[in-house]
Amino acid sequence: MLKTHTCGELRLTHDGQSVKLAGWVNRVRAQGGVIFIDLRDRWGITQTVVDVQSAPEAHAAAEKVGREDVLQIEGTVRARPAGMTNPNLATGEIEVEVRQLRVLNAAKTPPFDVSSDGKVDEALRLKYRYLDLRRHRLQRNLILRGKITKAIRDYLYERDFVEIETPILFKTTPEGARDYLVPSRVHPGKFYALPQSPQQLKQLLMVAGFERYFQIARCFRDEDQRGDRQPEFTQLDLEMSFVEREDVLNLIEGLMIHLVQVAAPITGCQLVTQPFPRLTLQEAMLKYGTDKPDLRYGLEIVDITDLAAQTGFRVFAENAAAGNPTRALRIPNCGHYSRKQLDELTEIAKSAGGKGLAYIALESGDSGQVKSPIGKFLSVEQMSALIERMGAQPGDLILIASDTHATVCAVLDTLRQEFAARLGLADPKKIAFCWIVDFPLFEWNADEQRWDPSHHLFTAPMPEDIPLLDSDPSRVRGQQYDLACNGYEVAGGSIRIHDRALQEKIFGLIGLDVEDAKQRFGHMLEAFEYGTPPHGGIAPGIDRLVMLLAGEPNIREVIAFPKSQQAADLMAGAPSEADPHQLAELHIRVVTAPEER
Ligand code: ASP
């Protein structure tokens, strides 16, 4: 080894020892005849000192050293002089007096400062990702990620799960996104699809009798990018036989608690919901306006449809008559908002699909005064009933949305998140999980005039709702569950269909004809005829989980080589054009539309 110790290892107990260190130059400072070089590796930083008197050759070499050069030094550990210790550094009580210095590799001046986590343009960070990855924040995140992955494996191996790999080159596995296709050279005109998840294969592993399977699986979904999405991402894919919903939820709840315990010493994160609250989808929508509520804070939505309907405000009355709700949020201590600030909130409501936003601002103190454009449509009694329903205090602001259920939810969800940010309520160190259950099995796709599965094709209906498949599919509940955390969906799963006839019926309802279904999923239907255990599973997204445990705002911060928002690798330049020869072999001709040229 070119080093005897890491740059994070030496302490006073090593005083007097001769050591070799190797790493990157974090910082250089010259002071009189002495040059201080802070040497960095992934374990830490050690101050080394090159004195012109005792090591003239090393000193001459040190004079030429620059940031990010890779050095090897040999020297002796010594206690730092009194008053010169650095309490912020684990190695801050010692320094290494250098005898010999070797430049193993010189570095060009990096395009940004690697020694700090200061803000750098993201495109530049992605282009020089190997330098970005040297920085403390990403080193910490990726080391955390490795520990989380190991903790997942340990937890599941202890519970007798088998880790099994499934193919990347496969057939379409619909999870609601577009497939990435890979052309076959050997089979002209045919394509593999990269798995959107290993869903079908894990179910087939249950047919095969493994009973408890998991995989740290890469999944590929071609969909529009957002902070919590990447074209390829990693999930803990898991499936169990002879289980009921409760078994899966308990296993995963225990795992999540364990993962927070593993992350806590590294990131200071803290679990604030235990046991995990369970909400039906309907409760979640009514209280939080979303199926992935952030429970780190309250700001719960309150239904005021009945009170609003009695007022003289036309919008409320019309919505009530049409069966639409009126719901409101109480924002503490924002009653002083100016006209301009309130107009801004209306714009936010509009960006979420609302037509407008009504408000009631309560003056602080005990004047009992309110400021509200809809005030004139409410009697004194109606106003006080509304204020009482909201639990509003002097100084509070009440924001009211009246529209279809979906729009009211979207508007109030957006405003709830907006105020959590403004009022500093969403502490990134807090981790608040909750389960969402009782989803409808289908969603109506008005464009295509058919039912779409709200989870995926293989989710089982609640047994008592099976008769409704014929009479009223909209009322069939699925045996599915989502795990939400801090406003993100971090896992989704279900108890599956394990019966060919039922599976075929679901295919029919979502508009897959028999031939199509056979062609795409014939292998599953056939397998179901050879003794299929009842089974179910789930798939927590590892990128999102690590992002939340690390307190990061997007998953690119916890992925070594992520794609940009435009699904491009800015470092290697992918995607890129293919060689004509390669295309010919793959039987592919590229036709570029005129507007893309
Ligand atoms: N395959 C599902 C998904 O990737 C998860 C599951 O149902 O287990 O979302």
- pLDDT tens for each residue of the chain, 597 residues long: 999 999 999 999 999 999 999 999 999 999 989 999 999 999 999 999 999 999 999 999 999 999 999 999 999 999 999 999 999 999 999 999 999 999 999 999 999 999 999 999 999 999 999 999 999 999 999 999 999 999 999 999 999 999 999 999 998 877 888 999 999 999 999 999 999 999 999 999 999 999 999 999 999 999 887 778 899 999 999 999 999 999 999 999 999 999 999 999 999 999 999 999 999 999 999 999 999 999 999 999 999 999 999 999 999 999 999 999 999 999 999 999 999 999 999 999 999 999 999 999 999 988 879 999 999 999 999 999 999 999 999 999 999 999 999 999 999 999 999 999 999 999 999 999 999 999 999 998 888 888 889 888 999 999 999 999 999 999 999 999 999 999 999 999 999 999 999 999 999 888 888 888 888 899 999 999 999 999 999 999 999 999 999 999 999 999 999 999 999 999 999 999 999 999 999 999 998 877 665
Shortest-distance atom of ligand 1 to CA 494: 7
Beta strands in 403-441 (DSSP E): 430-431, 433-437
Measure the CA–CA gap between 540 and 258, rounded to whole angstroms: 14
Reading the block at residue 437, the tokens are 């259950």
Reading the block at residue 397, the tokens are 């602001």
Non-local CB neighbours of 133 within 8 Å, separated by 6+ positions: 139, 142, 560
Burial 76-89 (b: 16+ CB within 10 A, else e): ebbebeeeeeeeee
| Distance from the alpha carbon of residue 154 to the mean position of ligand 1, in angstroms | 22
Measure the CA–CA gap between 431 and 103, rounded to whole angstroms: 45
pLDDT of residue 597: 57
Measure the CA–CA gap between 91 and 4, rounded to whole angstroms: 15
Shortest-distance atom of ligand 1 to CA 239: 8
Mutational pocket test of ligand 1: of 219, 240, 456, the residue with most ligand atoms within 8 Å of the beta carbon:
456
Measure the CA–CA gap between 145 and 283, rounded to whole angstroms: 33
Running DSSP on this structure, what letter comes out for residue 417?
H
Q: Whose CA is nearest to atom 4 of ligand 1?
A: 197
| Distance from the alpha carbon of residue 596 to the mean position of ligand 1, in angstroms | 35
Q: Whose CA is nearest to atom 1 of ligand 1?
A: 199
Look at residues 203, 276, 204, 199 and name the one whose alpha carbon lies nearest to residue 235: 199
| Distance from the alpha carbon of residue 540 to the mean position of ligand 1, in angstroms | 8
Q: Is 200 in the pocket of ligand 1 (CB under 6 A)?
A: no
Q: Whose CA is nearest to atom 8 of ligand 1?
A: 538
Q: How far is CA 7 from CA 13, 25, 95, 349, in A?
A: 15, 11, 11, 52
**Every domain of the chain and the residues it spans:** 12-105, 139-276+435-558, 298-425
Non-local CB neighbours of 223 within 8 Å, separated by 6+ positions: 177, 178, 229
Look at residues 456, 377, 167, 139 and name the one whose alpha carbon lies nearest to residue 266: 139
Non-local CB neighbours of 432 within 8 Å, separated by 6+ positions: 271, 272, 273, 294, 295, 296, 485, 486
- Helix H segments across 108-242? 122-127, 129-132, 136-158, 199-207
Measure the CA–CA gap between 319 and 329, rounded to whole angstroms: 18
CA dihedral 271, 272, 275, 276 (to 10 degrees): -90
Q: Is 199 in the pocket of ligand 1 (CB under 6 A)?
A: yes
Shortest-distance atom of ligand 1 to CA 537: 8
Reading the block at residue 209, the tokens are 């009798």
Shortest-distance atom of ligand 1 to CA 459: 7
Q: Is 325 in the pocket of ligand 1 (CB under 6 A)?
A: no
| Distance from the alpha carbon of residue 538 to the mean position of ligand 1, in angstroms | 6
| Distance from the alpha carbon of residue 244 to the mean position of ligand 1, in angstroms | 16
Q: Is 319 in the pocket of ligand 1 (CB under 6 A)?
A: no
Question: Residue 351, exposed/middle/buried by CB under 10 A (0-12, 13-18, 19+)?
Answer: exposed
**Separation of CA 42 from chain center:** 25
DSSP, collapsed to helix, strand or coil, labels residue 391 as coil
Beta bridge partners of 310: none
CATH of region 298-425, choose from 3.30.1360.30, 3.40.50.11030, 3.40.50.300, 4.10.490.10: 3.30.1360.30
Non-local CB neighbours of 437 within 8 Å, separated by 6+ positions: 245, 278, 279, 280, 281, 480, 481
Q: Are 109 and 66 in contact (CB under 8 A)?
A: yes
| Distance from the alpha carbon of residue 301 to the mean position of ligand 1, in angstroms | 30
Q: Whose CA is nearest to atom 7 of ligand 1?
A: 493
DSSP, collapsed to helix, strand or coil, labels residue 16 as coil
DSSP, collapsed to helix, strand or coil, labels residue 241 as strand
Shortest-distance atom of ligand 1 to CA 219: 4
Q: Is 459 in the pocket of ligand 1 (CB under 6 A)?
A: no
Angle between helices 405-422 and 339-351 in degrees, nearest 10: 130
Q: Is 538 in the pocket of ligand 1 (CB under 6 A)?
A: yes
Q: How far is CA 405 from CA 322, 324, 325, 360, 387, in A?
A: 11, 6, 6, 21, 22
| Distance from the alpha carbon of residue 132 to the mean position of ligand 1, in angstroms | 32
| Distance from the alpha carbon of residue 193 to the mean position of ligand 1, in angstroms | 17
| Distance from the alpha carbon of residue 202 to the mean position of ligand 1, in angstroms | 10
Q: Are 69 and 107 in contact (CB under 8 A)?
A: yes
12-105 and 139-276+435-558 in the same fold: no
| Distance from the alpha carbon of residue 148 to the mean position of ligand 1, in angstroms | 20
Q: Is 175 in the pocket of ligand 1 (CB under 6 A)?
A: yes
> Is CATH 2.40.50.140 the classification given to domain 12-105?
yes
Q: How far is CA 468 from CA 449, 471, 478, in A?
A: 19, 5, 12
Q: Is 537 in the pocket of ligand 1 (CB under 6 A)?
A: yes
Q: Is 197 in the pocket of ligand 1 (CB under 6 A)?
A: yes
| Distance from the alpha carbon of residue 439 to the mean position of ligand 1, in angstroms | 15
Shortest-distance atom of ligand 1 to CA 235: 4
Measure the CA–CA gap between 384 and 232, rounded to whole angstroms: 53
Measure the CA–CA gap between 104 and 61, rounded to whole angstroms: 12
Q: Are 439 and 281 in contact (CB under 8 A)?
A: yes
139-276+435-558 belongs to which homologous superfamily?
Bira Bifunctional Protein; Domain 2 (3.30.930.10)
Measure the CA–CA gap between 526 and 158, rounded to whole angstroms: 33
pLDDT of residue 596: 62
Mutational pocket test of ligand 1: of 237, 439, 524, the residue with most ligand atoms within 8 Å of the beta carbon:
237
Reading the block at residue 265, the tokens are 């010493």
Non-local CB neighbours of 557 within 8 Å, separated by 6+ positions: 137, 138, 141, 547, 550
Q: Is 539 in the pocket of ligand 1 (CB under 6 A)?
A: yes
